[in-house]
Amino acid sequence: MSSFLDVPVPVFIGLTIILFGGAAFMAGQAAANSWRPAWNAALNAALLGLGDRFLCYALFDGPLLTLSGYLIHTAVLMLFCFAAYRMTLARNMVVQYPWLYERSGLFGWRALAS
């Protein structure tokens, strides 16, 4: 499993999921709170993926320039980022326009029935 991730599993959990996952979550919230498009959140997650790969290399002797490692780590970060983006956007739509929308689950909203 660690050869698939290019770093040991505890490093992946600690660095990618906890540290950079939290940063990706906050980046998704920031993009949604400022009403930016979803591609802005994707760009933030891609840049966080670069930072994650560099710290894996610098701190834990992981390989720096591997496409598979970057794609896996960035995919996890994009998952966190887009989840936070949709949750925050759904909350903002309902709070901003309470006469038009109501919550529909954790990630969505729907028009109020007339």
Amino acid at 74: T
Q: Residue 50's Cα: distance from chain center in Å?
A: 13
Q: For residue 1, is pLDDT > 70?
A: no
Closest CA to 31 of 46, 43, 22, 41: 41
Every domain of the chain and the residues it spans = 2-86
| Runs of H (alpha helix) within 8-66 | 9-11, 21-33, 38-60
The string of pLDDT tens digits covering residues 16-61 is 999 999 999 999 999 999 999 999 999 999 999 999 999 999 999 8
The string of pLDDT tens digits covering residues 77-109 is 999 999 999 999 999 999 999 999 999 999 999
pTM score: 0.91
